[in-house]
Each structure stands twice: as structure tokens, then as C-alpha cells.
């Protein structure tokens, strides 16, 4: 085989490898786009659920019998008004939920109690009491009777 035949064979092999490589890259890009699209859809679904939950929490925390002055508020989009005390209550409840979901039972009980003590007769206090009751039921289901009893006793003290 002459050197020119070897060069032609080498070029043909190189061109074939290039075509296969570009086809493989195109396939990878299509798969990447499909995965990206799925992730975007999942994110939109999670964001929608989180927004609904956030709105419910803000409504619960914002049902405050006390009226705050306009000086403590700043305007927000769509004519809504930012209420820092309601935002603090909502974030405190979210933090406690994370502790509860992470299995930090006694920390969550203490934190829910703090919400009820700091913000009596508010939506946040009622939400904390409701979640403590749910937590007590979970403890009973797990045969943790003394923990559930402690939750009920704490609720009676704070009621």
C-alpha cells in the first residue's frame, strides 16, 4: 500500500470519526435540552406550590388584631403593603417547620411555644397551635406517648 493510499484511508477514517462525533454531540444536546425543559417544568410546579403555601402563611400570620402604623410599612407591588411583623411571624413558622421535618422534635416544640407566647391571639399563634396538635398526633402514631403528652400539657399552659 502506497503512502497516498494510507493518507486517503487516514483522511476517510478521520472524516468518519468527525461525523460520528458531531452526531453524538447533537444527540447529547437534544438530551440536555429535554432534561433542562423537565427541570424548568418541575421548578415551576414547586414554585407555584410554594407561592400558594406562602400566601396562606402570610394570611394566617397577618390576621393580627393589633393595627400597625403606616410608618412601619412600605408599599409593595399591586397596592399591597409590606408588614414586617407579619413577615417575621411567617419566617419563624417556616423555620420551625424545617426543624420539625428534620426530626428536631423538641426544638420544634419549644419554637412553636415561643411563637404562641410572643404573638398571642394572632394567626401565627393559631397556626403554631394547630401544627403542635398535628405534631402530637404524629408522636402518638410513633408510640411516643410522653412526648405527645408533653405537647398537650404545653398547649394547655399557653391556651
pLDDT at residue 73 in the model? 54
In a domain, 14, yes or no: no
CATH of the domain at 154: 1.25.40
Distance (Å, whole) CA 98 – CA 4:
72
Distance (Å, whole) CA 102 – CA 56:
22
In a domain, 45, yes or no: no
In a domain, 91, yes or no: yes
Q: Which tens digits make up the pLDDT trace of 19-34?
A: 776 666 666 666 777 6
In a domain, 39, yes or no: no
**pLDDT bracket for residue 78 (50, 70, 90):** confident
Question: Between residues 16 and 149, which one has the greater pLDDT?
Answer: 149
Mean confidence (pLDDT) of the chain: 79
Q: Is residue 52 within a helix (H) or strand (E), and if so which, with residue range?
A: helix 3-62
Residue 125 structural domain: 70-158
Q: Is the pLDDT of residue 66 over 50?
A: no
Q: Is the pLDDT of residue 63 over 60?
A: no
Q: Is the pLDDT of residue 69 over 60?
A: no
In a domain, 85, yes or no: yes
Question: Domain total for the chain?
Answer: 1
In a domain, 116, yes or no: yes
In a domain, 119, yes or no: yes
Do residues 112 and 128 touch, judged by C-beta distance below 8 A?
yes
Amino acid at each position: 500500500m502506497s503512502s497516498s493510499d494510507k493518507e486517503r484511508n487516514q483522511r476517510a477514517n478521520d472524516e468518519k470519526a468527525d461525523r460520528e462525533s458531531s452526531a453524538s454531540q447533537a444527540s447529547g444536546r437534544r438530551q440536555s435540552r429535554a432534561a433542562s425543559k423537565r427541570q424548568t417544568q418541575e421548578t415551576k410546579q414547586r414554585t407555584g406550590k410554594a407561592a400558594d403555601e406562602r400566601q396562606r402563611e402570610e394570611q394566617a400570620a397577618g390576621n393580627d388584631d393589633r393595627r400597625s402604623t403606616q410608618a412601619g410599612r412600605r408599599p409593595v407591588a399591586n397596592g399591597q403593603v409590606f408588614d414586617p411583623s407579619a413577615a417575621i411571624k411567617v419566617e419563624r413558622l417556616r423555620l420551625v417547620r424545617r426543624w420539625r421535618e428534620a426530626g428536631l422534635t423538641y426544638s420544634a416544640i419549644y419554637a412553636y411555644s415561643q411563637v404562641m407566647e410572643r404573638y398571642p391571639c394572632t394567626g401565627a399563634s393559631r397556626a403554631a397551635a394547630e401544627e403542635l396538635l398535628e405534631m402530637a398526633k404524629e408522636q402518638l402514631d410513633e408510640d411516643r406517648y410522653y412526648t405527645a403528652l408533653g405537647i398537650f400539657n404545653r398547649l394547655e399552659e399557653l391556651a
